[in-house]
Amino acid sequence: MTPDAIVEYTEALATIAASGGGPKALAAHLAAACGGSVLLEDAHWRAIVSAGSACGPGGARAILERAAAGKAQRVMAGAAHVGWLSLYDSDDARGELLLRLTAAAVGIELSRALRRHGERDAFWESLLHDAFHDAASIREAAAGRNIALAPLYVTVALESEHEREFPRDRNDLRALVAETFASAGELGFTENATALFVFVPAPRSVDVSNAGTAAVLLGKNARKRKPELRVSGGVGVAVPPERLQRGAQTARAALAVGKRVYGSGRVVAYDELGAYSVVYEGADIERLREFAAQVLAPLRTYDRKHQTELERTLKLYFASGQNVKTASEALFVHRHTVFYRLRQIAEICGRSLESPHDQLTLRLAVAVDELHNAS
């Protein structure tokens, strides 16, 4: 290959990079120049992009470890190994040289992407640790990193059961999270020594609900995608950016309590913890009163709207030692009416009176309300 041809090919790579084509366009350029197929993988052999019509025989690992047909080149971002670039089905004598040149250009692009991700992660880390003075400074810092802030975020805290595999597992988790919340908008990420935190934009109440539902399914999806990847997680309450600390706090609480109560391998929502959340947080009187009001609110709303006595029925049911006959006598109704009301209570509150967990939540709410909210 002549020096002029090398310069021409390199200039073409530079033009693609300058126009924002990215790794996919660079790989396509190599495939077109060599008449073959190209596969770009990350440092853990996972495919990122491909170009050309044919399929490679298992990626760079197959070429390097099993002497499969093709050429493989390590992709570097400075001193960091960030991926592999492979060329298949090409008889072009220039293939190895063009592969090296393209790998260098891809390394620069991946380095830029890593730097952007690092800057964005640093923003969320600062926000998580309450490093900004006010909402205006938060918006200014976000704009400087091209982050379009949503009015509300749901925080999801995730961790892998195998701490030794955490660095690699978290890459898998990020990919899975990005796929799970692809329709939610621009996600935020940060991590510490034990957990990956994901900040899911949820501008509307339906988005909050959808984010929680998708997050709870993450554990199951992780096992389907990679059986050895066992994920535990917690879903926090929806908060504005300036209260992200509270969102992360509730996500961590849901993660910790969920593992203790249900075992590892599940993603649990903070709103589902019931009494466990206030016990775990060592709640003060105001927090306990807030908890009781939240739990009993659906019954009170229903009672006001329909002129019923569901809240009173629940309290008398507990006060009678869950004796339906005694409760019906105190309410001056038939015991079948009490049974019917109990079914209504369970449906309206979204809790089962046969579940020890749900019963503890309702009992604590009733006890706190009678102790601290009695007029």
Residue recorded with tokens 């993988």: 41
* Mean pLDDT value across residues 324-350: 94
Cα 207 to the center of its chain, rounded Å: 14
Q: What is the pLDDT of residue 375?
A: 42
Give the H/E segment covering residue 189.
strand 188-191
Residue recorded with tokens 């961790």: 159
Q: What is the pLDDT of residue 30?
A: 93
% of the chain with per-residue pLDDT over 90: 43
Confidence grade of residue 224 (pLDDT, cut at 50, 70, 90): confident
Contact 172, 228 (CB under 8 A): no
Q: What is the pLDDT of residue 344?
A: 96
Confidence grade of residue 54 (pLDDT, cut at 50, 70, 90): low
Pairing of the two strands 153-160 and 80-88? unpaired
Q: What is the pLDDT of residue 55?
A: 57
Residue 173 tokens read as 């988790």
SS3 per residue for 64-114? HHHCCCCEEEEEEECCEEEEEEEEECCCCCCHHHHHHHHHHHHHHHHHHHH
Of 230, 282, 231, 279, the residue nearest 255 (C-alpha): 231
Q: What is the pLDDT of residue 169?
A: 59
Q: What is the pLDDT of residue 165?
A: 46
Q: What is the pLDDT of residue 315?
A: 93
Confidence grade of residue 166 (pLDDT, cut at 50, 70, 90): very low
Asked which of 173-177, 223-227, 266-270 is least confident by mean pLDDT, the reply is: 223-227
* Mean pLDDT value across residues 170-179: 78
Determine the Cα–Cα distance for residues 118 and 132; give it in Å rounded to an integer.
Answer: 18
The predicted-structure confidence for 77-98, as pLDDT tens digits, reads as follows 887 888 899 998 888 888 899 9
Position with higher pLDDT, 79 vs 211: 211
CB atoms within 10 A of CB 271: 17
Determine the Cα–Cα distance for residues 27 and 75; give it in Å rounded to an integer.
Answer: 12
As beta bridge partners, residue 189 has 198
Average pLDDT, the chain: 87
Non-local (6+) Cβ contacts of 201 within 8 A are 150, 152, 153, 184, 185, 186, 187, 207
% of the chain with per-residue pLDDT over 70: 95
What is the sign, positive or negative, of the torsion defined by CA atoms of 118, 123, 128, 131?
positive
Confidence grade of residue 296 (pLDDT, cut at 50, 70, 90): very high
Query: For the sheet containing 188-191, what is the strand order?
Result: 188-191, 196-201, 153-160, 231-239, 267-269
Confidence grade of residue 57 (pLDDT, cut at 50, 70, 90): low
Confidence grade of residue 119 (pLDDT, cut at 50, 70, 90): confident
pLDDT above 50 for 51: yes
pLDDT above 60 for 337: yes
Instruction: For the chain, list the domains and their CATH numbers.
Output: 3-114 (3.30.450.40), 129-273 (3.30.70.270), 291-372 (1.10.10.2840)
Of 130, 67, 81, 72, the residue nearest 99 (C-alpha): 72
Position with higher pLDDT, 134 vs 175: 134
Which CB contacts under 8 angstroms, 24+ apart, belong to 101-104?
101/6, 101/9, 101/10, 101/13, 102/13, 102/26, 102/27, 102/29, 102/30, 102/38, 103/73, 103/74, 103/75, 103/76, 104/76
Confidence grade of residue 56 (pLDDT, cut at 50, 70, 90): low
Asked which of 144-153, 161-170, 265-274 is least confident by mean pLDDT, the reply is: 161-170
Q: What is the pLDDT of residue 184?
A: 86
Determine the Cα–Cα distance for residues 283 and 192; give it in Å rounded to an integer.
Answer: 26
